[in-house]
Structure formats: C-alpha cells, structure tokens
C-alpha cells in the first residue's frame, strides 16, 4: 500500500560530499537521459572523458543532448560494459556518481521474475528473494562478466533492500499492527470468545450461503481502512466459515475483495487523503479553472468506479447462485466433500497456520470476550483518525490564520471553510479530517488497546492466569511471522522497482496517440498492469494521477471534444486509475493486501492468488467494457448507471450458466 515519500537531499544526506549509488543512464538517438536516486535537484556539471558538461537535475532527472556530449561521449557510454564512476557537482554538493548502461526494459524483469517463479514453483519467499536479487543486480550495473557484481548484489538484498524496507515507519507500523492483531486473535480464541461469536452467529449463519453473506456484510461494514478490514474480518469469520466447510480460498477471496474495493469508494476512509491530494495536484495542472473542490470531483467520479462496485456485487451474485467456477470451484468441492478447508496438496508446515487456538478447558464461550476487543479496535481506530486528523488540520489552519488558537475540535471544524471553501458540506469537512489523519498511528493505538482489553478480559474472567495468557499472546505474535516475512520481501522488491523506474517505463512504453474516448480504457489496462507488476495500488496512483488527469483533459479539448465531455473523460480517468489499481493489486501475488488477506484467512498464499485471479479478471473485463461504453455514450450518471446494470446482468448470466454448485454431501 503506502510508498516512501521523496526526501530532499539536504535532509537525507546533510554532508558536503555524497555518493549517489543509483545513477541510471539511458539513451536514444539524440540524448542521454539520466535518473538518480536519491532525487537531487540543482545545477551542476558532470565530467565525461575529462570534460565538464553542464547538468541540470530536476527531482533526480535530467538529459544531456548529443551536441553537448559529442560523438566521443556517446560512444563511451555505448561501449560501457559495466558501471563507470564520474565526478559531479550539484549546487554545493560534490561527489561520485555511477553511470550504468542498463536497457530500461530490464526494469520489468524483477517483478515479472518473482511472479513467474512464485506461480511455477509455488514458493513465494524464494521467488521474492530472486526478484529482489535480480533488481539489485540490474541496479548495480548489470555486469554479467564480473563475479563481484553477482556477490555484491546478493549481499545488498539484505543490507540495502530488506533493511530499507524495514527502515520505514509505515512498514513497521503494519508489522506491529499485524502482530498485535495476531496476539489479540490468539487471546480471544483461547478464552472462548471467538467460539462464542461462532455460536452466536450460528443463529444467522445457518448455511454456507448465509455464512458467506455475513462475511461479505462485515467486509463492507469495516469500510474505513483496508488493513483493519482484512485482518479483523478474516480472523473473526474464519471459525464460522470453517464450520460450514467453506474453503479458506473462498474466505480469502471475500475478505480481499471487500477490503480494498470498499475502502476505495467509501466517502470517509484512510485512502481519501492521498486520493484528494492526487486529484488536487492533477487539476492544478489543467491550465483552466475547475469550479469544484477535489472532494466534489472525487464524489462525482465515483459513478465510473466500475471495478470496485462490480467486485462487491459479483460476490453477492456468487453467494446468491450458490455457484463457483474455475479453481475456486475445485477448492470449494474439496472443502465440502472432504472437510479440508485448506489445500490438501500443501503440507501443514507450508501453511501460514496458527497454533492450536481451540478454547482452553472450562472457557465460558462468551461472545463479549471477543466482541469487546474487536469493537475496541474499530472504535479506537475511528477515534485515532479523528484525533490525528484534527491535530494535523490545526497546524494547517494556524499557518493560514495565526490569529486564532483553534484549541477545540469545534473551532477547527468551523475553520475548515478557510481550506475547503464555504460550500464544503458535512462530507467534505469529514473527508478533510480523515484525509489529514495518520492512519498508521490510529491502527497502532487501536491494536495495542485491543490486545490490552483481550488480556484484561481473559485474566479477570479467570479463564487463564496471566502467565498462560501471555504465552498465547506471544504465540499469536509468532503466528504472523511467515506472512510478515513475505510482506517484507514484497516491500523490498518494490524498492527495486522504484529504483529502476519500472512504473515510469511501463507508462511511457504503452502511451501514445489515442482517441480520447478510448483513453479511460487504455489507462485502465495500464494502471492494472503497473499495479500487478509493482504489487502496489498506492504507487500506481502516485505515478499515473499527475500524468493522467491533466493529459486526459488537454487531449480531449485538443481533439475538439466539448468541455463537458472532456470533463467526464477526466472524471472517468480519475476513477479508472483508482479502480484498476485495485484490480492489479488483487491479481498480484506480491501485493501486500493480497498477502494480508491470505494471512488473516489462514490460507495458502498462492492458493488464494490462483483462485481469485479468474474472478478478478472477469470483473475487470466487464469494468473495462462498461467504462468505455459509458464514455462512448457521452458519460453522466444515468448512462453510467445503465452501463453498470448491463455489466451486472452479464455477470449474473455468466455465473448462472458456467457456475456449478460445489459439494454433494452438504446443503448450501
């Protein structure tokens, strides 16, 4: 999900002499293109073949024309078989930079290699490690002839990339939050609370159909954050779905396919801040005034969010028909006929299985022992979002109007008109508060208090002594480790794709002269492919939004399309980038949310990816058709609604025709 922010050089390297470890050079017929990590901005020189060439770096990127280099400079870089060291001077910073003659198409190799190896050999950790190693080797100069390059890149997998992934506050927050949730789940399982929830839900979850519907309903209800959604719903409903012999693959699919889609389109979520920021930056580059706030534009674009909406409805279609197809049907047949909710082809030690969490002897089976800690997580998360959001906005308002103290939430709420305008409305203000919040801090607060509440309930009810409760809490921490290792490696791989500018390369390679009517569809495919390759919907949005929003509007106007339809195309592009990013996340085995869904559902990760893939692709295909048809017909709410209904009917018909009811030994 979140990537690292670009850090200014004087913050990252506050010294007078620095070395840029990642300096990538590509060339076409006329110029040398330069990219640096860290991203340096400034004026300076680069020394090539003993001659100083003027150099301007803007956010780590620059280019040198053929006339500046001369033939000798071009020949030198063309003939370079491995990295060469040169001197540079940018503003007051001087040092060495490593020029690497690397074909840019190699930037897609690490994620593709990791994905292919994982799917063929069904070994995610090894696949991710090899993907990171290949990325480190390419970023290190791609020197096939020197053994030193192979060795140094192998060592850098740990030293630079894995440590780099862990040296990130957001990543550590996810790890700690996940471990705390694991500890809480272990406690509420051993104290009988989870079994009490199962017994209570059994009144409503009387069949596999109703059990799946309740799981879906919980996934929609916890809309404010995809991480919290995934871990709470998966862990809470696992016992319920197991009771009705619903496969872990189906549980993981419902969990994964409600978490991000509902977070992507809900009015108030932890996603909203980033989304509004991207939209605001994009419309500021249009060159024309748009008489609407970013929040209003976001709400207006939701009618084009076909994939998240269709995904949520498609789950209901499957549940209603009591049918599945493809690999999911095979998994459901296994669960219904044999009772094996996990893949029988996977040995127990390969499963991300938790310890034996059956209730201890004489546990009271009280559902409140589970519901109170879970509600604590939900309520404290919401409170944490409000606290951190108001604190952040207090500073913004004071910077605008330092004559007011803004001591209370009410004063901050009223002062939001200075930021949002007088017509922002309730949802606009609430969206601003949640958008300005620190979701990671809120999740850490909530998970810590959830564990504390579970521990207090377990000991005060005399279900377990404190030493036994502590043991099972730590066991819950440990149960998260296999998936967290995979998650850390996925983050490390994302660092390599960032260094190699994988998303930039894919975006540039697939862009070109397009009919503006087809632009949302093409961007849908592009965003899905980038998210699939990088495993991150957040980085995909960060890459595409600044380009896609102003480009779509400008290209539409230049093609003679009316401003009204050009605006609709821009809205479709805004929704498409978000929706297709979620699709790419769903089908990528290196996505953090996909990994967390496997973790929370206690499902073999590759089994989850394999069974979810056909469903996501099917829904994605009709989403692509729907949004293209809507724009072709002129856009607008009514047309989008009609196209959405047509897509729903098509999915309904497909499931009815090709789907089959799993199992022969139990009623659905």
Provide the sign of the torsion angle of the four alpha carbons 460, 461, 465, 468, taken in this order.
Answer: negative
492: nearest Cα among 163, 134, 151, 119: 163
Neighbours of 91 (CB within 10 A): 13
Statement: residue 44 has pLDDT above 80:
no
- Average pLDDT rounded to a whole number, residues 360-382: 86
Sequence-ordered list of residues with C-beta below 8 angstroms from that of 410, at least 6 positions apart, any chain: none
Q: Output the CA torsion 106→112→116→122 (10° steps).
A: 120
576: nearest Cα among 264, 110, 216: 264
Report helix, strand or coil for 35.
Answer: strand
Higher pLDDT, 214 or 360: 214
Statement: residue 332 has pLDDT above 90:
yes
353: nearest Cα among 339, 344, 337, 342: 342
Give the pLDDT band of residue 650 (cuts 50, 70, 90): very high
Residue 391, pLDDT score: 86
Statement: residue 504 has pLDDT above 70:
no
Radius of gyration of the chain (CA): 26
Extract the tokens encoding 62.
């620059």
Residue 88, pLDDT score: 46
Strands 42-48 vs 51-57: parallel, antiparallel or unpaired: antiparallel
Least confident of 106-115, 466-475, 599-608: 106-115
The backbone region for 7, taken as left when phi is positive above 0, alpha when psi lies in -120 to 50, beta otherwise, is: beta
Residue pair 494/535 in contact (Cβ under 8 Å)? The answer is yes
- Average pLDDT rounded to a whole number, residues 407-420: 78
Residue pair 229/258 in contact (Cβ under 8 Å)? The answer is yes
- Average pLDDT rounded to a whole number, residues 376-403: 82
Extract the tokens encoding 221.
């209800």
Sequence-ordered list of residues with C-beta below 8 angstroms from that of 448, at least 6 positions apart, any chain: 180
Neighbours of 488 (CB within 10 A): 21
Task: Report the CATH fold assignment for 9-101.
Answer: Immunoglobulin-like (2.60.40)
Statement: residue 514 has pLDDT above 80:
no
Statement: residue 118 has pLDDT above 80:
no
Residue pair 589/321 in contact (Cβ under 8 Å)? The answer is no
How confident is the model over 203-256, as pLDDT tens digits? 788 889 999 999 998 888 776 667 767 877 888 788 889 889 999 999 999 999
Residue pair 520/306 in contact (Cβ under 8 Å)? The answer is no
Provide the sign of the torsion angle of the four alpha carbons 44, 49, 51, 53, taken in this order.
Answer: negative
Reported pTM: 0.64
User: What is d(CA 475, CA 140) in angstroms, rounded to the nearest whole number?
Assistant: 40
Residue pair 16/94 in contact (Cβ under 8 Å)? The answer is yes
Considering the chain, what is the average pLDDT of its residues? Answer: 76
How confident is the model over 607-623, as pLDDT tens digits? 999 999 999 999 999 99
**Integer angstrom CA distances of residue 151 from 28, 137, 159:** 31, 9, 12
283: nearest Cα among 302, 264, 298: 298
- Average pLDDT rounded to a whole number, residues 269-283: 66
Residue 310, pLDDT score: 96
Domain ranges of the chain: 9-101, 106-167
């Amino acid at each position: 999900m979140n990537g690292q922010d670009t850090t200014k050089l004087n913050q990252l390297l506050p010294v007078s002499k620095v070395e840029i470890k990642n300096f990538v050079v590509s060339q076409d017929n006329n110029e040398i293109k330069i990219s640096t990590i860290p991203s340096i901005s400034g004026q300076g020189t680069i020394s090539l073949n003993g001659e100083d060439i003027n150099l301007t770096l803007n956010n780590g990127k620059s280019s040198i024309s053929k006339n500046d280099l001369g033939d000798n400079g071009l020949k030198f870089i063309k003939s370079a078989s491995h990295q060469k060291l040169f001197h540079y001077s940018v503003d007051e910073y001087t040092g060495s930079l490593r020029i690497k003659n690397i074909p840019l198409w190699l930037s897609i190799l690490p994620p593709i290699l990791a994905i292919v190896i994982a799917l063929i050999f069904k070994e995610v950790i090894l696949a991710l490690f090899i993907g990171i190693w290949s990325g480190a080797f390419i970023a290190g100069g791609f020197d096939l002839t020197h053994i030193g390059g192979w060795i140094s890149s192998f060592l850098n997998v740990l030293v630079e990339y894995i440590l780099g992934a862990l040296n990130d506050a957001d990543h550590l927050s996810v790890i700690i939050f996940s471990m705390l949730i694991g500890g809480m789940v272990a406690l509420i399982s051993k104290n009988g609370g989870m079994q009490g929830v199962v017994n209570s839900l059994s009144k409503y979850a009387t069949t596999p159909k109703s059990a799946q519907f309740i799981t879906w309903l919980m996934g929609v209800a916890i809309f404010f954050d995809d991480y919290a959604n995934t871990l709470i719903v998966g862990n809470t409903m696992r016992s319920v779905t197991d009771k009705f012999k619903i496969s872990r693959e189906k549980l993981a699919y419902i969990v994964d396919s409600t978490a991000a889609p509902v977070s992507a389109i809900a009015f108030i979520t932890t996603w909203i801040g980033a989304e509004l920021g991207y939209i605001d930056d994009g419309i500021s580059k249009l060159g024309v005034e748009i008489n609407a706030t970013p929040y209003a534009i976001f709400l207006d674009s939701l009618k084009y969010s076909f994939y998240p909406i269709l995904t949520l409805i498609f789950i209901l279609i499957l549940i209603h028909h009591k049918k599945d197809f493809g690999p999911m049907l095979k998994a459901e047949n296994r669960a219904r006929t044999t009772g094996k909710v996990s893949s029988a082809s996977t040995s127990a030690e390969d499963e991300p299985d938790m310890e034996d969490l059956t209730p201890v002897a004489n546990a009271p089976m009280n559902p409140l022992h589970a519901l109170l800690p879970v509600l604590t997580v939900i309520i404290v998360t919401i409170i944490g979002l409000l606290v951190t959001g108001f604190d952040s906005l207090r500073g913004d308002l004071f910077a605008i109007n330092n004559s007011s103290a803004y001591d209370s939430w009410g004063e901050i709420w009223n002062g939001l008109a200075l930021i949002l305008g007088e017509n922002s409305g309730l949802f606009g203000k609430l969206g601003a508060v949640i958008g300005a919040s620190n979701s990671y801090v809120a999740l850490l607060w909530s998970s810590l208090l959830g564990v504390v509440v579970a521990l207090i309930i377990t000991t005060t009810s005399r279900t377990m002594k404190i030493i036994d409760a502590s043991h099972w809490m730590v066991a819950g921490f440990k149960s998260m480790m296999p998936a967290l290792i995979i998650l850390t490696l996925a983050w490390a791989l994302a660092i390599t794709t960032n260094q190699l500018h994988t998303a930039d390369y894919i975006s540039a390679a697939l862009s070109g002269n397009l009919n503006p009517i087809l632009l949302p569809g093409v961007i849908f495919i592009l965003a899905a492919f980038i998210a699939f390759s990088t495993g991150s919907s957040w980085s995909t949005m960060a890459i595409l939004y600044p380009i896609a929003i102003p480009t779509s509007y400008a290209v539409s106007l230049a093609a003679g399309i009316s401003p009204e339809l050009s605006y609709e195309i821009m809205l479709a592009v805004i929704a498409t980038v978000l929706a297709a990013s979620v699709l790419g996340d769903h089908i990528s085995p290196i996505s953090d949310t996909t990994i967390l869904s496997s973790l929370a559902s206690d499902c073999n990760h590759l089994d989850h990816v394999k069974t979810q893939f056909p469903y996501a692709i099917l829904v994605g295909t009709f989403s692509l058709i729907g949004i293209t048809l809507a724009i072709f017909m002129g856009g607008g709410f009514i047309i989008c609604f009609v196209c959405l209904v047509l897509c729903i009917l098509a999915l309904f018909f497909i499931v009815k025709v090709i789907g089959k009811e799993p199992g022969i030994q139990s009623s659905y």
